[in-house]
Amino acid sequence: MTALRCGEHPKMAKKTFEVFEPHERRSQEERSSATQLQILRAATEILFAEGYAAATTQRMAAQAGVSRGAMLHHFPSKVDLMVAVFQLAHDADTAYLREHLEKIELPIDRVASLPQLTWKALSGPSGIAALEIMMASRSDHDLAQKLEPVQTQIEEESQQRVAELMHSAGFTVDDASRELVTLVVAAIRGLSIQAMFRKESRGAPSALRVLQSLVETQILKGIEDTSTETNSKRRVPTPPSESNQPVAPHPRKRSSSPSSGAL
């Protein structure tokens, strides 16, 4: 800490100002990571607000407050930056889902909440930015080539997380449940694209209710299937057949009239 005493200025005489020096300066790696995050966030903002065509290297560098050369030092090409933005979007969406799922107590309710939570994640800035990049990769061979392995890994990780979530709720993960997850994600991406073009999402709530009912129906079906499977595994004693049952002797009936042989 360094104490500076002002000179003879009448209004500031005898006042001491304290300048606090940081105990530790950030390392080069920390500064580099901070700059990269700054660039990634700036790119995400432009993609979300104006789309892929507006996300030029000059525009993103200006939005991030860095020189174009500094940006290219961290991301040698626009394609590299877009792939990094895509990965960041996935990480942000994953963190959002994890945070909100942890607040739900029952595992079965966590599964039921997936459509609503997925919509909030994919329709937000990071989700829309990822959609812009996915659509741009259709006509950009270099972007498609670099994005494909990242996207494949992300989809595998997402399927694995959903499988773990369903296992925790007591469901068997089969082809039908995987296809349902694929349907939900694809439908929500479609709703996000529609909202992006229309610049509003008035139709989303009713569509999400339909998705919610599909998921709840699958949950009920999973509960019924699990219950049926559990019951079928229990041993139910088989009643013995009549041929194996001991036959009790019938008591001889006494005749109410004297026997024909009695005198």
Q: What confidence tens digit (pLDDT) does each residue in 27-86 have?
A: 888 889 999 999 999 999 999 999 999 999 999 999 999 999 999 999 999 999 999 999
- pLDDT tens figures, 172-186: 778 777 888 888 888
pTM more than 0.95 = no
| SS3 labels along 77-102 | CHHHHHHHHHHHHHHHHHHHHHHHHC
- pLDDT band at residue 25, thresholds of 50, 70 and 90? low
Residue written as token pair 């990822």 = 130
- pLDDT band at residue 166, thresholds of 50, 70 and 90? confident
pLDDT value at residue 253: 44
Domain annotation for the chain: domains and CATH numbers = 78-228 (1.10.357)
Nearest to 118 by CA among 220, 218, 207, 217: 207
How far is the C-alpha of 201 from the C-alpha of 197, rounded, in Å?
10
C-alpha 4, offset from chain centre: 53
How far is the C-alpha of 216 from the C-alpha of 109, rounded, in Å?
10
Q: If you average pLDDT over residues 90-103, what whole number do you get?
A: 93
Give the percent of the chain with pLDDT over 90: 41
